[in-house]
Structure 1
């Protein structure tokens, strides 16, 4: 693995460590001034302020959440990160009142690095799976 790939993986790990610790300011400092967050495909959020608002809303809905980086791959100026999110639904999310349900799902992130900072973050996850876990099943009669 070349030096660029090693440095980019270290940057990505530091970024996710900050997010895990809800240190949004430090995570934002690792982002490029032209940062764009793509929440599922092509729904861009420009700038770190919008990114932080989005992430904070999601993470605040899961008190004591944890995400674990399972695998990380780097090539040139891209880092792919496969992680597992785990938390208990403790605040309103996607219009759903807190259920207390444990929610566990996988995510794939693709980061693009420029000038030693994160230029793009693309998130890919199964929203339908999350909704299934949040929504209580109807009672069986």
Structure 2
């Protein structure tokens, strides 16, 4: 659980990209339905984090709950910030985002080996103005 918490605090919230080498295994795979291809390895992961943090100023990921079972860590989180640069092909909107989600990490020998993320993609698209705000 400590590895996941350190990744969130140091890398995602703190912007300490050098910490990635100590936290992410060479065979790491990151999967998120909002991202077309899997992210593989520390360098691709660094690129992903740099792009999200660069596009969303005042980025913050808050851990709402963490549960550990053997080598799997489940995390419920909330991400907030302001969309100020291109992100996932979307030009800057200046809109505030507030997205909840869950991720499941597999940790081996103190390093992230796999991460599956499922966040509120529809809510995210609504907040960026890409989807009509009307209820279904």
TM-score, normalising length: structure 1: 0.83
* CA separation of 1:76 and 1:53: change in aligned 2, threshold 3 A: same
Flag the 1:115–1:65 CA change in 2: closer, same or farther, 3 A: same
SS at match of 2:87: coil
Is 1:17 the counterpart of 2:13 in the alignment? no
- Displacement of 1:69 in angstroms is 0.5
**1:4 maps to which residue?**
none
User: What's the secondary structure of 2:21's corresponding residue?
Assistant: helix
CA contact 2:62–2:78 (8 Å) conserved in 1 = yes
* 1:118 counterpart SS class: strand
Contact kept? 2:30, 2:115, Cα under 8 Å: yes
Q: 1:33: which partner in 2? A: 26
Secondary structure of 2:53's counterpart equals helix
Q: Which structure 1 residue ranges, 4+ long, deviate > 3 Å from structure 2? A: none
- 1:124 maps to 2:118: yes
Partner-residue secondary structure (3-state), 1:94: coil
Shift of residue 119 of structure 1?
A: 0.7
Which has the higher mean CA deviation after the structures are superposed, 77-86 or 94-103? 94-103
User: Within 1, Cα distance between the matches of 2:28 and 2:130?
Assistant: 37
Question: In 1, distance between residues paired with 2:39 and 2:90?
Answer: 23
Is 1:65 matched with 2:31? no
Once residues 48 and 11 of structure 1 are traced to their aligned partners in structure 2, the CA distance between those partners, rounded to angstroms, is 14
Once the two structures are overlaid, the 10-residue window that deviates more, 38-47 or 116-125, is 38-47
- TM-score w.r.t. the length of structure 2 is 0.85
How many residues are aligned here?
130
Matches within 5 A, 1:22-101: 22-40=15-33, 43-101=37-95
